[in-house]
Amino acid sequence: MQDLTSTQPLVSVVIATYNMGQYLSLAIDSILQQTWKNLEVIVVDDGSTDSTEEVMAQYRDNTKVIYIKNENQGQPKAKNCGIKNTKGDFIAFCDADDFWEKNKLELQIPQFANPKVGVVYSEVSFIDEHNNRYTKDDHEVRYSGKVTNQMLIENFVPFGTSVIRRECINQNGIFDEEFRMGIDWDLWLRYSLEWEFVYVPQQTYVYRVWSGQMSNNYRGRYDHANRILKKFVSQHGNKLDHKYVRKAWADMYMREAAVYARNEKQFFKPLKKILHGLALDPGKLYGWKVLVKLFLGRC
């Protein structure tokens, strides 16, 4: 296998940003300060109206930083624009309000010595909007190898930690611009059909948690998750284990029910979804727990 550490192939890093001028330089500098030196940073400004242009002016003479300013078109188009302007053998991502640890690429790129590996991802740590760092004791389960069955049920890859082989894009495409949210889950599902994933347990990515994030939009998140799963199964159903497809839909209905019961204090809509989920996967203990909590008014 090729020694990627000694040859240092080019890594392209895509930052799609919209009105994140206050954090953007931290993200860019964390990439430029990598111990892995052969890299480029493609910053796609999705029509920002804040200080983003002024921030980017300081990188005007840095040949490793490419700045592209577009009209506002949304996250999928901005990320795809960045990908289309990359030159690297490997492509990575950093959200503009997050940043990398210095040894991220040094830890992850050598995993691609196995030609079957298409995606390498890692553990994540956290920071708040005031730059206070902290950890979460989430006990998230991560997977390596052929991960389609597990990915159907849960997107366990923290997006910003991911590095992908260019051949994944050439063979399996870029982000689906039909979707506004959950675009990484759709991408991983497609890639998982042909490529292996590798999990690196070190924390290489620092994720910022703050009040205005899109991830707080649970209605939009579940609407898109339903659409993504439906489209993936309809297009690739002949390649899937349908036991896991049922489990995936069951998990979707149960978790959606819990979120609606907790946030909107609904009863009948969550009840219908829980029962639907349990019909698909009656052995799912989580669904029974949600059902009991729903009747006790404790969701």
Rounded Cα gap, residues 13 and 39, in angstroms: 7
Q: What is the DSSP string of 26-94?
A: HHHHHHHT-S--SEEEEEEEES--SSHHHHHHTTTT-TTEEEEEE----HHHHHHHHHHT---SEEEE-
1 has a pLDDT exceeding 70: no
| Reduced DSSP (H G I as helix, E B as strand, rest coil) percent helix, strand, coil of the chain, to 5 | 45, 20, 35
d(CA 78, CA 69): 10
Query: What's the pLDDT score for residue 6?
Result: 75
Percent of the chain clearing pLDDT 90 (strictly above): 86
- Domain boundaries, given as residue ranges, for the chain: 4-215, 241-296
Q: Give pTM, 2 decimals.
A: 0.93
Q: pLDDT digit string (tens) for 82-133?
A: 999 999 999 999 999 999 999 999 999 999 999 999 999 999 999 988 888 8
Give pLDDT tens digits for 38-93.
999 999 999 999 999 999 999 999 999 999 999 999 999 999 999 999 999 999 99
Letter string b/e over residues 215-254, b meaning 16 or more CB atoms within 10 A of that residue's CB = eeeeeebbbbbebbbeebbeeeeeebeeeebebbbbbbbb
pLDDT digits (tens, 9 = 90+) for 154-169: 999 999 999 999 999 9
Residue 22 has pLDDT above 60, yes or no: yes
Mean of pLDDT values over 184-194: 98
Confidence label for 240 from pLDDT (cuts 50, 70 and 90): very high
Q: What average pLDDT is seen over the chain? A: 94
3-state class (DSSP) for residue 3: coil
Question: CATH topology for 4-215?
Answer: Spore Coat Polysaccharide Biosynthesis Protein SpsA; Chain A (3.90.550)
